[in-house]
Amino acid sequence: MTHTLTRPETTQLAESGRALDTATPLEILRWAADRFGSRLTFATGFGAEGCVLIDLIGRHRLPVDIFTLDTGLLFPETYDLWRRLEQRYALTIRDVRPERTVDEQAATHGAELWTRHADQCCEMRKVSPLAAELSGFDAWITAIRRDQTAGRADALAVEWDPKFGLGKVNPLVRWTKKEVWSHLLRNDVPYNPLHDRGYPSIGCVPCTSTVAAGEDDRAGRWRGAPKTECGLHAPMVAAPHEANAGPSA
């Protein structure tokens, strides 16, 4: 039997987000696994934060489905990390792919679409496939942190995701970069070796570059363009029914 979130339950998500604001990432993950069961999934991009969550899920044997968006443009090091994590924790990380291959996209829209219309490329290779995949779940786990971008500064541990229409669980929302790396090194968690070569934020090969000392961690993503997000994480807004509701008594 499947379960779909109702409008009153979206209000409960906000309440849970506030209640869990001081909880540990493991406590938040356990809460989500208990609350959503098989209707919970984790979409990982294999960043440092994602590796922390895979470590917690794997070491504590939490019943959480995991997948990644395989755009066909990932670094070889990312594909290698994918397999190393599966082997280390004896789990499966599913691949979700765009409707078209990179070559098929080029045949329709021209070669290297990302150099001309990066948002359109991200929409086809990441956002649309994610939306289709999440339609079968009631909540998804992300690895975002509040201090990563201005758009993530108000994120809660648990919240309603207006972009994809389901619950959103952010176990690392309060963590800092230092805490992330402390966990990785302390627990010998596999991570992308590109992080040691000047790539603090890693996405697709053509849209990721190294970052110089003093630059923001995401400065190497879509360098030279006024773009800091691929579109997966919309700023938090109230659930539809909450936006139209009057003040409560």
Identify whether 101 is part of a domain: yes
Identify whether 247 is part of a domain: no
Instruction: Write the CB contacts of 144 (distance below 8 Å, at least 6 apart in sequence).
Output: 49, 152, 155, 170, 172, 173, 233
SS3 assignment, position 157? coil
Identify whether 248 is part of a domain: no
Per-residue pLDDT for 239 more than 70?
no
Identify whether 1 is part of a domain: no
The pLDDT mean for the chain works out to: 88
Per-residue pLDDT for 236 more than 80?
no
Identify whether 246 is part of a domain: no
Per-residue pLDDT for 179 more than 60?
yes
Per-residue pLDDT for 50 more than 50?
yes
What is the rounded distance in angstroms from the CA atom of residue 80 to the CA atom of residue 201? 17
pLDDT digits (tens, 9 = 90+) for 92-132: 999 999 999 999 999 999 999 999 988 899 999 999 999 99
pLDDT at 150: 78
pLDDT at 45: 95
pLDDT bucket at 148, cuts 50 / 70 / 90: confident
pLDDT at 224: 74
Q: Which structural domain, as residue segments, surrounds residue 58?
A: 7-241
Instruction: Write the CB contacts of 136 (distance below 8 Å, at least 6 apart in sequence).
Output: none
What is the rounded distance in angstroms from the CA atom of residue 153 to the CA atom of residue 25? 17
pLDDT at 35: 95
SS3 assignment, position 46? coil
What is the rounded distance in angstroms from the CA atom of residue 54 to the CA atom of residue 38? 17
H or E element in which residue 67 lies:
strand 65-69
Above pLDDT 70, what percent of the chain?
A: 87
CATH number of the domain that 42 lies in?
Answer: 3.40.50.620
What is the rounded distance in angstroms from the CA atom of residue 195 to the CA atom of residue 75? 12
Known catalytic residues? 230
SS3 assignment, position 131? helix
Identify whether 2 is part of a domain: no
Per-residue pLDDT for 244 more than 60?
no
pLDDT at 162: 87
pLDDT at 249: 29
pLDDT bucket at 34, cuts 50 / 70 / 90: very high
* Total structural domains within the chain: 1
pLDDT at 70: 97
pLDDT digits (tens, 9 = 90+) for 1-19: 344 555 557 788 889 989 9
